[in-house]
Chain A
Amino acid sequence: MTTPEPAASEALLPEDRERRLHPASWLFVLLQNLRQFIVPLLVLLFAGGRRDDGYPWWLPMVGVGALVVVSIWQYLTFRYRIEDDRLIVRSGLLERSVRQIPYSRIHNVAIHQSLLHRLMGVAEVRLESAGGTRPEAQMRVLRLPEALALEQLIRDRGQAVHVGADAGPASTPAPAGITLLALSTWEVVKLGLISNRGMIVVAGAFALAFQALPDRMAGRLLVDYGREAFGYASGFAATWMAKGLVLLAVVGAALLLIRAFSVLLALLRYYGFRLQRQGRRLTVERGLLARSRSSVPRRRIQAWTMTEGVLHRLFARRTLDIDTASARGADGQGDAGAQRGLDALAPIAPPATCDAIVRDVALLPDWPPQAWRPLHPRAWQRLVIGDVLMTAIGCAVLVWFFQAWGTLALLWLPWSIFVARRHAARAGYAVDASLVAVREGWWTRHWRFAEVGKLQAVELRQSPLDRRYGMASVWCDTAGASPLATPLRLRLLPLAEAESIHATLAHRIARRPLRW
């Protein structure tokens, strides 16, 4: 997939004419449907009955045939039409639906090509708007040049609507893309070394093995092999130290395996990663076998997260993620959909590059903030309280079991105090006319920030413990935040400061029109 040629869009997509999908599109719909039905079909085919009973083995084939008919029918009934300012999609087998999607409302255009798509020179296009869980329109599949032309058209027209209001230059037909970040293969390998995705694969493989292999074979194999390995180890060295070494070796091998899978996954997902800015739109291309390319207008970005773990620091790298208010991929088609969205602007990049991207894309010229303001001076005490409580309980339990030795658990306290102090010393926040930012963490650090114009609501919160310490926290709500991500909250501030931030933010937001 390469950058589209600017002139092609008009020639490839004439207006005011209903268009169909690629003629082979039904094949891909069929494959997708088959993937969902493959398990029941296989069960029917193999476990349904014995051949010599006169069991109609061709019965499952009827199902496949029905799927073929449905897929072709879907292809025949799906039409789209390009209007001046909107896209009109007609679809539906029995219930017909006509959907009108204004270009300016499209938050994300994702083009996806699996290996098969690439072999046939076609691509899948998903158009997403704010909210909802399903894409506004999903075109399976278009010819690649057509898909790219459609993307370009949406980019140009969606932008043209805003040009007047955004006070931009009168016409910017097709500005050349500026590459903000391109990852070399070595960088992607580093990303794999840092990420822990391989763990998911290994865990998944284990789970699958336990599920799929009959009669607890997996468990037995594991136990047998484990026993054998330990027997072998105690064969050549019966000491405890040797056993320990063997255990270490096993753990080391597992870690290596996990890392190897991580690198493999990272290569599959992020090979050839390129982040480009074309006018007001950001485009991300990535993928080794399956290529995907998604494109969002930069004003649709709601909030930013920068993360830096220990491994990141080892390589002097960071990760830059964004929240967009567009539909998330959980649409019942497995995880593949979720990966297509534009989640990471920079999966891995040196800190300076991350900052440069933020400055360029977020229109926050002052990033990173000049002065991070500190938390409440006694914030670390407030942080440590939970740990003290847990340690006390843990210590009591241990004393119950091991008598005096249990008190050794108290040694945890100095460490937790140390961590809390480091955390409180590093954490901070910054609020100015255009930005709300918070940084937290010491061991793994993260920064989270948003433009003031993107905030939806602010809340001042105070727990009884906070009140005791004269603290409060300010929670800022933005659209499209993942429920798992850390919220944009300014914790452990002195009460007066929190109150004034709360009031000024509420005032400032009310003066800014909602633009999302």
Chain B
Amino acid sequence: MTASHDHAAAPPPLPAEATEPAPQVETDIWQPLPTRARTLATITTLIGTVIPLGIALGVGLVASARQPSSFAIAGVLLLLVPAWTVWIARRRWLRTRWRLDDDGFGVRRGHMWRSDTRVPGNRVQHLDVRRGPLERAFGLATLIVHTAGTRNSAVALSGLDHMQAERLRDTLAARAARDDDHDDA
């Protein structure tokens, strides 16, 4: 899905503000991801850890002498490791915030390693909204903001509400189109 430029004619920042009562994209607030994103993160992390861990432990148990102690250790590991990864995933969900303001789009993330990325609205080259099957099931989407840069040439934010992601994309695309009109190149 690419950016639609149909909104160039509409009032740029909030294209359909007048028609709907609530503002489409709240600006100037660091907004959290929806709770559904946390559920999805929990599920994917669980799947991602329990299955490989289960296989590894199963193989280990088969290979080793099957004593009660090793079963106990395996059980404890099977409980602790997923719990830990899920805790991290939920922290990450909690710590990920996005923001749209006059300057552009911002993403804050990270618990141990923190980062705060800002992509000014007029630097947006094109936008993608991407949805995997699981994300579709939860009504979520991933927004990818592309710039002409090198390292941050694609800033991806997953776990956004689908409608929200589409509105964000449209708003940013409209802004990029508006800025393009002023641009001389």
Contacts and interface: CB of A to CB of B under 8 A. Distances in A.
B120 interface: yes
Interface string B90-125: 000000000000111010001011111111111100
B182 interface: yes
Nearest to B114: A462
B184 A479 contact: no
A479 B103 CA distance: 19
B117 A479 contact: no
The interface size bin for chain B is 20 to 34
Nearest to B155: A457
A460 B152 CA distance: 12
Contact of B150 (A461, A477, A507, A516): A477
B102 A481 contact: no
The interface size bin for chain A is 35 or more
B151 interface: yes
Contacts of B148: 130-131, 325, 456, 479, 514, 516
Given A477-B152, A481-B150, A487-B151, A459 B116 contact: yes
B12 to A, nearest CB: 14
Contacts of B120: 457, 506, 509-510
A162 B184 contact: yes
B21 to A, nearest CB: 29
A305 to B, nearest CB: 14
B171 interface: no
A165 B179 contact: no
Given A502-B118, A509-B123, A479 B113 contact: no
A456 B115 contact: no
B183 interface: yes
Tell which of B104, B150, B151, B179 has the most Cβ of chain A within 10 Å: B150
A162 B104 CA distance: 27
Given A457-B120, A457-B149, A514 B183 contact: yes
Interface in B130-185: 147-153, 155, 179, 182-185
Given A165-B184, A457-B123, A461-B113, A479 B104 contact: no
A513 B179 contact: yes
A479 B118 contact: no
Given A162-B185, A510-B104, A457 B118 contact: yes
Given A456-B152, A463-B112, 10 more contacts: A105-B185, A130-B148, A457-B123, A459-B117, A462-B114, A477-B152, A478-B150, A487-B151, A509-B120, A513-B122
